[in-house]
Amino acid sequence: MKIIKIHIDGFGRLHGFDIEPDGKLTVFFGHNEAGKTTLHLFIRSMFYGASTKKRLGLKSVYERMRPWKNPEEYGGSMEIEFDNARYLIERNFNKAPDDLSVSRITEQGPVPCEEPQQLMDRFLNGLSETAYVNTVSSGQLGAATQRDLAAELRKYASNVSGTMNPDLDADRAIELLQNKKSALEAQIDEEAAKEHNVVLGEIRRIEQELSLPENENQIPQYKDAVSRIRLESDQLYERALGNQEELTETEEKLRERGFSGMEEVSEASESVENAYADYMGLQAKAEGKLPLILAVLFLVGAAGSAAAPWVLQKQDMLLVFVLAAVILLLAAIACLRTHSGRKKAANAARLGAQERLSDYIEFDGADEDRVNLFRVFIEESRQLAAKVAELKDRQQQYAADRERINREYAVCLNDLETQQQTREKVEETLSRLSQLQLRAASLDKKVRDNNKLREEIESVELAEETLTDLASQIRSAAGTYINSAASGMLSEFTDGAYNSINAGVNYDISLNSGDGMISVNDLSAGTADQAYLAIRLATIRFIAGEDDPLPLILDDSFNLYDEQRLTSSLKFLSECYRGQLLIFTCQKREESTLEALGVPYSKAVLT
């Protein structure tokens, strides 16, 4: 099988990503965090689906690789070549972690295949995911298959090659792993995670409490309100003081006119107007001519009556005419007295009106002018009285406003005191929150340490799982194969310095240098890694076949190699590994070495 094209819709940090491995050997170059491991994990997930298995509380691959942006685009496709045909593998992890579609690519386009999972098993040569992870798919220093934590796999493989006995004691290796796992589990602080969750819950509760509106710092607003009320009170005081001064001045003017209020002004106006009206009525009667006319007529009649007996020659009626003359004379006198009485009454009314007017004004002119002047005086007095009333009402309003402002001031001061008490409680809560955050940070470190331990435990479990899986396969095959194949590869890697690998009864790997057996523990890390890589490659061929049908993925597997070892290893792999080679690296040594060897390769850069 050969990988032709890779397209990622969304997977971890990679989004809308396309790459085409070209030729037998492709170098994927990228700095740390560029996405090499993500791409490596995507290839594995395209073969086996995104794993939902959680190990020791850690997130599964399916959860961990959900895209950082556009999470609705979770999946991709991969085009492979198998048995001279091309196939398109597609997975939409949003549908299901194990969603799978396989199509055969023809000239007319992709044709969906039935039973895609059976096809995948054929593509992978029946290799389980566990075996895949520990053979053809190598993580960092994966050539050693978790060198420190999966030593039992190397011991098992090397024991097969050294003893040529397929009936190996894998139980001892598994026991060592279990002991390692128990030791790691003993270091985990189980209570740290519980306390961490409790502390985080308390932090969230306090943060929610502090976010409530009543806990908002409103002291500045209340202080502003107090200042505003004080300013309003001062301004009101100034206005009331000015109003009081104007009221005092206006009342003084009104008192100078002889009044204390509108009622007295109205009474004075009514009294003078009534007196003047009485005077004018009496004056009109006094000026009437009727009594004088009647008196004249009565006098003429009296005179006529007195002369009538002689004029009429009726002296016998003298007494009657004399009596009539007397009556008419008395009537004339009565009319004259009436006229005189009216004049006296009018004059008295006039004097009374003038006397009342003189109480308020001084004027020697005609009566009408005095009255008109009085009316002007009264109108001005009314205005003053009205102004006094208005100023008094205003003063009362100012008093009411002062009471209102005083009440508002008292309420505001009380609210300010309450807010200050609230802020004291908030400060105490903030102090508590700070202590909890410090505790959470401390516990977070413990939790991270626990997670690291769990990752190590996960590696132990993976190694144990791998060992168990491989042991069931290797025990049924001839142990000489891995020994022979690994020894031949090691000789190539080391330019003949070591020509065989052997494992003792205590699972100690030894290499034969020609001068004797040397424990792998006494060798350099680079030589040890070459031995582990040889065992891995031999295991691959033992499981999958000598045609190397699967792509070999090496992710930063040569970090401990010196230049000579790197050259020998790359030369051997390029010449002897028949399948596709995908090398992931953050260094440029591999490219330089391949170029020096004249090995053709393609390069893909991840940024």
pLDDT in tens, 489-508: 888 888 788 888 875 444 45
In a domain, 374, yes or no: no
What pLDDT, on the 0 to 100 scale, is given for residue 119? 95
Structural domain that includes position 182: 2-188+455-605
Mean pLDDT of 343-351: 76
Highest mean pLDDT among 137-146, 414-423, 589-598: 589-598
Mean pLDDT of 373-389: 89
Burial letters 517-547, b for 16+ CB under 10 A, else e: beebeebeebbbbbbbbbbbbbbbbbbbeee
Highest mean pLDDT among 164-168, 297-301, 310-314, 463-467: 297-301
In a domain, 483, yes or no: yes
pLDDT digits (tens, 9 = 90+) for 519-532: 777 877 777 777 77
CA 397 vs CA 222, 260, 406: distances in Å: 26, 21, 14
Percent of the chain clearing pLDDT 90 (strictly above): 30
What pLDDT, on the 0 to 100 scale, is given for residue 508? 57
Decide if pLDDT at 442 tops 60: yes
Percent of the chain clearing pLDDT 70 (strictly above): 89
User: Exposed/middle/buried for 494, CB within 10 Å: 0-12, 13-18, 19+?
Assistant: buried
Q: At residue 49, what are phi and psi to the nearest 5 degrees? A: 90, 160
H or E element, residue 176? helix 170-186
pLDDT digits (tens, 9 = 90+) for 101-110: 999 999 999 9
The answer to whether 506 and 175 are in contact (CB under 8 A) is no
Count structural domains, the chain: 1
In a domain, 206, yes or no: no
In a domain, 553, yes or no: yes
Q: Give the model's confidence band at 155: pLDDT under 50 very low, under 70 low, under 90 confident, else very high.
A: very low
In a domain, 519, yes or no: yes
* Helix pair angle (151-163, 525-544), 10° resolution: 70
Mean pLDDT of the chain: 82
In a domain, 220, yes or no: no
What pLDDT, on the 0 to 100 scale, is given for residue 165? 38
CATH number of residue 539's parent domain: 3.40.50.300
In a domain, 400, yes or no: no
Tell me which of 341-345, 405-409, 474-478, 582-586 is least confident: 474-478
In a domain, 459, yes or no: yes
